[in-house]
Structure 1
Amino acid sequence: MSLHGASWRTPAIIMAAGALIALISLGVRSSFGLFLAPMSADLGWGREVFGLALAVQNLVWGLAQPIAGGLADRYGPVRVLTVGGVLYAVGVWLMSVTTDPVLLNISAGLLVGMGIAFSSFTIVIAALAKMVAPEKRSLVMGLGTAAGSMGQVVVVPLGAALLTNFGWVEALFWLSLVAALIIPLASVFAGGSAGRILPPDQSFRDALTEAFAHRGYILLTIGFFVCGFQVAFITVHLPAYLGDNGLGPTVGATALMLVGLCNIAGSFASGWAGGRYSKKYGLVFIYVARSIVTAAYLLMPLTEMSTYAFAIAMGFLWLSTVPLTYGIVGQVFGPGYMAMLSGITFVSHQVGSFIGVWAGGALYDAFGTYEPVWWGGVILGVLAAFVHWPIDDRSIERQKAGAAA
């Protein structure tokens, strides 16, 4: 067996490399909330400046995701992931030397947003899903999402330690090197079994037309907006919210770590359940549960322990939407254009992320409180549950005919 061939790239090795890419991609960006307060203070910015840059990042990530997904579907994931690793590392490094809002928007916003899109767990789990039988896809998506959640467990505490010991400039420099590890890991996908399986009788245009004519796909895309709003706001603004209420930076870092730790179990459980039970009703449950957990947190006295309880509960619900949402896409339309169609759905998620992050900073600067955004997330969670309820998640007739043939 030659190490220069593709024979050593077994499914297990490809899955391990994909898990590490997902870990790094999600982990580095999850640590950015720790830098909001120190960078804003040192550079004399209001919180809206930093919040807007990360909002731009989320929006660029979302808009670029269908492009990255389409390229990965057509040419395979290795080139896409490599480009993502380069853009990600350069963007984080430029964050460390920024001195004005324009450069922050270019680095943290445009470059990192593009880098995440081309190296995100969306690309990874779509590639991994093509390696397994249909009945195992939901579980594999759950495993891929859980691996991404490990990033919050590993990288967020690392970012906090670097920030405490070296300051934000050096901390971001070292995090850029962590992001650069995506580049060698991407090479594992070259010549592997996570290849292209495009339907021979369907073009990109046909796939898009079919998806946008499907009412359930539209509802799924609308509902994913809420997930982005809730998750991005908490990730970026929770540490600052806790600091405003007398809880130190360690509490914020620990809370984000607990979210990531519990999301490992939540994502895996969601993927497992999605392979056995209705995915759309699973999404209904998750969005209702998020609203209940958040409302309870806001109504209770804010303490270190209540924050940790909130982080644990929210962690189980955090990215558990992903294997179910993407699972419905694959279940309805098949795996051929799954990365592209999931990427389009993800645009809505990232529009929600943009609004959640930006509104958090803008409303705080205007009113001195995060309360309107917190309660807005509660209301949106209930609305998302209603949106997902009527989704028709049955396979479309084209797939049924193809399977019969």
Structure 2
Amino acid sequence: MYVRNLTLHDFRSWEQVSIELTTGTTLFVGRNGFGKTNLLEALYYLSGLRSHRVSTDQPLIRSGAEQARLSATVENDGRELTVDVLISASKANKVAINGAPRRRPRDILGILRTVMFAPEDLSLVRGDPGERRRFVDELTAGRGPRWAAAKADYDRVLRQRAALLKTASAALRRGGSDADSVIGTLDVWDAQLADYGAQVTAARIDLVSELEPHVRQAYSTIAPHSRPASLHYRSSVSENVIPAEGEKADVEYIEALMLNDLSVLRKKEIERGVCLVGPHRDDIELMLGNEPAKGFASHGESWSMALSLRLGSVELARADGVEPVLMLDDVFAELDVLRREKLAEVAAGAEQVLITAAVADDIPAQIGGRTVAVNIIETEGVRTSELVVQG
């Protein structure tokens, strides 16, 4: 898989840019703030419908513009598809495939598979559980729209049920028939939350199970003298949801456990006005030996674990029969010699690699490829970014 063309309008610092890309390695070199990371961020967004740097879409729209347009032509095994996304400041985002509008944005998921390694990845190890949940959800969604559908439905039900819990709390204080009506409505939402939540949990468990050996192998190569790395899914429902090795997670069993927990914890949920059960409270525990990496890993071990998660993601995609586009955003300056060499080895085996760096000397000598300079030009007091292909 590789991206043949990327075109942006009013995305981040880019008023308008179009660049033809090729297989192999392309190096985007330019000073910080010149817009090189924005190019990779656009492709990341086209693959997963979210940025790796911000949680909302508004910052992606260039200052002064009402919307941003992103388009990429992707070739995969001789098949060519063009994906278009319109990000709007005031309306719902729109997507199209080969010029044909699609009703749901998630319909484009799976067309472009990317793996991004960026300085922000350190938060996968040191950050909150939400960072690790998003990481796994992105990998799951990359397998196609149906994997993202249950998560979208779960998020919708979770929001509506949380609002109903707050209403239930107020109704119980007032008493009367209103309380009985609200409590009865909760039964319906509990069933939906357990249905979609079980699907999300099962998909995550299966993905972590497939990812774990790839991460373990990558870490042992990067940090051969460190403790062994491992991944474990921690469910807020029960550890019993984790199946035996080689087996798939049981959706119906997880759903039954969730329904039971929702019933047991209903009073506490109403008192607090929050949902206490479900995959929104789960975590992916990263272990080094017998200790969690968060809080116990050194700086070097944390970088090794973050890098191993991304390298494992590459191998997971390859196991699915997909060669993902590998994007390395200004990371070589952060790594020591051994980690640079390992990353360079992976880059050498990828079909398409896109790398950003402030200076070309940060990139290992064994990585060749085409260099594109990212510059800033100023015309009548207006600063804009430009690309200059150097070879």
- When normalised by structure 2's length, the TM-score is 0.28
- When normalised by structure 1's length, the TM-score is 0.28
Q: Which is richer in helix?
A: 1
Structure of greater relative contact order (alpha carbons < 8 Å, 6+ residues apart): 1
Larger radius of gyration: 2
